[in-house]
Amino acid sequence: MGLPSTNEALASSIRSLTPMDATEALNRIRTLVQTEPNFRAIGDDSEIVPETLKWIGQLGAVLHGMKLSVEEGMLAATTNTLVRSQGRDGGGEIRAILYRALGKAEFNAPASEQGAFIAAGEEMDAYAAISRVLQSADGRLLIVDPYMDGKALTDFLPSANEGVELRVLTDKATMKPTLNPAAEKWVSQYKTSRPLELRAASSKSLHDRLIVVDEATVWSLTQSLKDFARRSHGAILKVDSETASLKIGAYLDTWDHSERLEL
């Protein structure tokens, strides 16, 4: 007897699942967005194939739980194309299915759990969505972005409430040279009304892009602020409370041990 097709394997793995509630669906889709594999890499390294197919199977399970039968069927067919082409074809279609599911999950979830999906090129929507997160802070914001630049600082941070302490943690190896001059102008203009501090972590030690609100709520960004939704789709994802607590502790420790940039 031959091995089952990819379609049959996916269908078998998800057939018995019961529908999941809106918040669970959103949390699972958020995790998949944050762990999206490099589909093209399966043509270069056979060891990557099982992990990629496992990720696709998890996406299929969520689609089934959300009762997105059309997307579920599309995923199975596209997965066969991906495998047959050794990663050359199908990756873009799978990514489109993922973000379509994210949009529906965001729409169905309670308002307190919602983030935002931003289509490529919709820079005003990106600004509005990120501004809403920044404006939710009452006392302190920590922005973690290894590729922070001056434009990101001046475009987004002014939307935070006056008096909120702004902390920007970037990476010594990948921060942009426009950041410091922009920060100096910020301090010169706002002084203590919008307090700002920059720190640089050790080279290539930062991998997340986060906004931490009042050391209580964490939002994950799928792209750096300087390029957010400029050329490809972006998403702002609320991190679940357990993971948020771990990230807050880790990044506060990183902040304490990072180099302060003089402004």
Length of the chain: 263
Q: Which of 34, 32, 25, 33 is nearest to 104 (CA)?
A: 25
Q: What is the pLDDT of residue 1?
A: 40
- Tell me if 98 sits within 8 A of 233, measured CB to CB: no
The whole-angstrom separation of Cα 178 and Cα 148 is: 9
Q: Is this model's pTM higher than 0.75 or not? A: no
Taking only the tens place, the pLDDT of each residue in 80-103 is 999 889 889 999 999 999 989 988
CA 263, distance to chain mean position in Å, is: 29
The whole-angstrom separation of Cα 181 and Cα 32 is: 37
What domains does the chain contain, in order, with CATH numbers?
6-108 (no CATH), 115-261 (3.30.870.10)
Q: What is the pLDDT of residue 232?
A: 80
Q: What is the pLDDT of residue 231?
A: 80
| Dihedrals phi, psi of 116, to nearest 5 degrees | -160, 140
Residue numbers in the chain where pLDDT is lower than 50: 1-4, 13-17
CA 113 to each of CA 15, 22, 68: distance values in angstroms, whole numbers, following the listed order: 28, 10, 20
